[in-house]
Structure 1
Amino acid sequence: MKEGDDSLSIRAAWLHYVAGMTQGEVAARLNVTNVKAHRLIARANQNGAIKISIEGDIAGCMALERQLEATYKLGWSQVVPELHEHGMPIKALALAGGRFLQLEIEGGQSSLIGIGHGRTLSAAVSSMPKVDASKVRFVSLLGGVTRNYRANPHDVMHRLTERTGGAAFVMPVPFFANSAEDREILIAQRGVREVFDLASRADTMLVGIGTTELSAQLVASQMIEASEISEVREAGGVGEMLGHFFDRDGKPIETSLSARTLSPDLSVLRAGRIIAIAGGDDKLAAIRSVLRSGFLSGLITDERTAERLTRQDEGWL
């Protein structure tokens, strides 16, 4: 095989073992013969790339990572191969997010890891193998009391402790208080202030990115009302991270929600190491918005989203 087939063999392995494609489907997707698809997958096995997870670099994804880092001044990024999922690429992002968390825990560089909320983060935790995190603490980065339990970020923290044995601290307050005065009262409660301060000191923060569409997860989970997200949209809001909203140029916007958000202040986030995990066509504008804010240190995304984020012809760059 040619030297360039190393990258292709990893891609074939992803499609076969992760996306669940047959060798015939892999051959059709990569535009190679069935025999070559078989050899590519076998090569990935022989090179030790296939273990519990698939390890190895894909040239195309690596090139996109370099482009993302240069375009948005990121310190680090990871682009995972597209698994051709319908809608949001949950499976691909979950595998990458789970692997990132595992390496952070095993590497020992972060003794306090802050966790955001959302379907992608929940899936990432679920995809992570059991690992010893007895020397690591986890802390919620935002309040999560909601009427929709399935969207409750505390459930993410519970899963995380089950898989790691690490100590976890949750913020038992709503994501948004009813007023700025209520926010101060809630933060002053015994136990809440300590967790809030702990969240502000997280070594690494793993967060999701939300949209400002009427179908946004914040609205679907009943954390905010449709009228409130409409106010954000009217003010130019495009992307959301930890309850903070940004316009298409990445500038924070002020709305009635801003003073009621129960998550670390922007000044704290500016000084932190924040890794976002997000992807999908529906979130493209929101991801661009948050990337342009300059708050992110790193991004985990899928191949299709990365290609569009680095494209020069969409009127953003």
Structure 2
Amino acid sequence: MPAAFGGSPVVWAAWLYYEEGLTQDEIARRIGVSRASVNNLLQTARDEGVVTISVAPAHLSRVSLAQEISERFGIGECLVIPDDDGRRPDHERVGVAGARLLAERLQPDDVLGVSWGRTVLALSEALPFRPLPGLSVVQVTGSAIGTYRFAAELCTSNIANRLGGRCIYLHAPGIVSRPAVKRVLMAEPTVREQFHIIGSCNRIVFGVGSVESSSTAFESGFLTPGEARPYIEAGAVGVLAGRFLDGRGSFVRGSMDDRLIGITLDAIRSVPDRICVAAGPAKVAAIRATMAGGFVTTLVTDQRTATALLEAR
């Protein structure tokens, strides 16, 4: 044994493992003992304080933020990713984190509902290719011409292609011209069957929009400022799947709702696993409303947004 270790096999094993990066098998050969003995030596090093293991403060801070958000807003889980000083857009980084979480969570035979938006698209593009037998991936909001860059169809097909799942589109516009047109479309057998499948989702992934003019919902042309104005005047702070929410997470009703085709807020709330991927200062009020309304079981966001969520009143 090298003299530097003072005759202690515990210190020697700890040095080889933690400082030199050797495996337990390599240490066993170096010292001349069994692998089980190396494991015991390393445990003794931890028990006697020869080695102390701690989590880096930056990681602890994000874990603390995530736990506080989960407890304060009553959601099951929160994943907070580190800030990167603006090197990449918020929606891209949160989408990648959401893809990792979704890939770990999905199971064969799941029915996954998919909304649309920049963050959901980033998630769909970051998913690994991993076939899941029996998986169904379902578009839950109707189509809109202006959303071609991050359309519900594209988000849905990306996920289905990467996971080898059955892709189920919702063959209807997201907003129609008159309530009567909606009633006719909803009576069509094909559309009724698609909504039946939407109702069977056991997981759903979605983003949330603000009511600011720069929001994806307005920029895409899915909604116009004129259509949104009565909702905003009634207290709306966020948009979820085309439906407006106030600060308490309650549904703000308006004339446009009779023309919307897509999953309802009650249907979202009934899905067991509800994953919201969203970040950015402009979305803080909308994210809080979505959690307050009981629409989220898992939130994926970044550190700056998480801090703002806890500071906002």
Letter aligned with residue 201 of structure 1: S
Whole-angstrom CA distance in 1 between matches of 2:256 and 2:292? 21
Letter aligned with residue 254 of structure 1: R
2:173 aligns to what SS in structure 1?
A: coil
Aligned twin of 1:74: 75
Aligned twin of 2:11: none
Aligned twin of 1:43: none
Q: How far 1:3 moved relative to its partner?
A: 4.7
Aligned twin of 2:56: 7
Unmatched tracts of structure 2, length 5 or more:
1-17, 19-50
Whole-angstrom CA distance in 1 between matches of 2:301 and 2:168? 27
Q: Does the CA-based 8 Å contact 1:269-1:295 persist in structure 2?
A: yes
Aligned twin of 2:286: 286
Q: How far 1:217 moved relative to its partner?
A: 1.3
Q: How far 1:148 moved relative to its partner?
A: 4.4
Aligned twin of 1:276: 276
* Percent of aligned positions that are identical: 24
Letter aligned with residue 72 of structure 2: T
Whole-angstrom CA distance in 2 between matches of 1:79 and 1:245? 25
Q: How far 1:280 moved relative to its partner?
A: 0.7
Aligned twin of 1:42: none
Structure-2 change in CA distance of 1:123 and 1:262 (3 Å): same
Aligned twin of 2:242: 243
Structure-2 change in CA distance of 1:4 and 1:231 (3 Å): farther
Q: How far 1:239 moved relative to its partner?
A: 0.8
Q: Does the CA-based 8 Å contact 1:88-1:280 persist in structure 2?
A: no
State whether structure 2 residue 68 is matched by structure 1 residue 59: no
1:171-226 alpha-carbon deviations (Å, 9 max, x no partner): 12111222222222112224221111211220011111011122221221112222
Q: TM-score, normalised by structure 1?
A: 0.77
Aligned twin of 2:24: none
Q: How far 1:261 moved relative to its partner?
A: 2.0
Letter aligned with residue 74 of structure 1: I
Q: Does the CA-based 8 Å contact 1:214-1:229 persist in structure 2?
A: no
Aligned twin of 1:24: none
Greater Cα shift, 119-128 or 58-67? 58-67
2:251 aligns to what SS in structure 1?
A: coil
Structure-2 change in CA distance of 1:88 and 1:4 (3 Å): farther
Structure-2 change in CA distance of 1:3 and 1:137 (3 Å): farther
Q: Does the CA-based 8 Å contact 2:212-2:282 persist in structure 1?
A: no
Aligned twin of 2:190: 191
2:263 aligns to what SS in structure 1?
A: coil
Letter aligned with residue 56 of structure 2: S
Structure-2 change in CA distance of 1:193 and 1:136 (3 Å): same
Greater Cα shift, 279-288 or 112-121? 279-288
Name the Cα RMSD after superposition.
2.0
Q: Does the CA-based 8 Å contact 2:268-2:295 persist in structure 1?
A: yes
Unmatched tracts of structure 1, length 5 or more:
12-57
Letter aligned with residue 7 of structure 1: A
Aligned twin of 2:302: 302
Structure-2 change in CA distance of 1:282 and 1:135 (3 Å): same
* Segments ≥4 residues shifted beyond 6 Å: none
Whole-angstrom CA distance in 1 between matches of 2:253 and 2:219? 22
Structure-2 change in CA distance of 1:277 and 1:147 (3 Å): closer
Q: TM-score, normalised by structure 2?
A: 0.78
Letter aligned with residue 310 of structure 2: T
Whole-angstrom CA distance in 2 between matches of 1:288 and 1:183? 31
Letter aligned with residue 308 of structure 1: A
Whole-angstrom CA distance in 1 between matches of 2:285 and 2:299? 15
1:95 aligns to what SS in structure 2?
A: helix
2:171 aligns to what SS in structure 1?
A: coil
Q: Does the CA-based 8 Å contact 1:81-1:92 persist in structure 2?
A: no
Whole-angstrom CA distance in 1 between matches of 2:286 and 2:89? 14
Work out which of the two has the higher radius of gyration on C-alpha atoms and give 1 or 2. 2
1:130 aligns to what SS in structure 2?
A: coil
Q: Does the CA-based 8 Å contact 2:280-2:305 persist in structure 1?
A: yes
Q: How far 1:87 moved relative to its partner?
A: 8.2
Structure-2 change in CA distance of 1:221 and 1:78 (3 Å): same
Whole-angstrom CA distance in 1 between matches of 2:54 and 2:112? 38
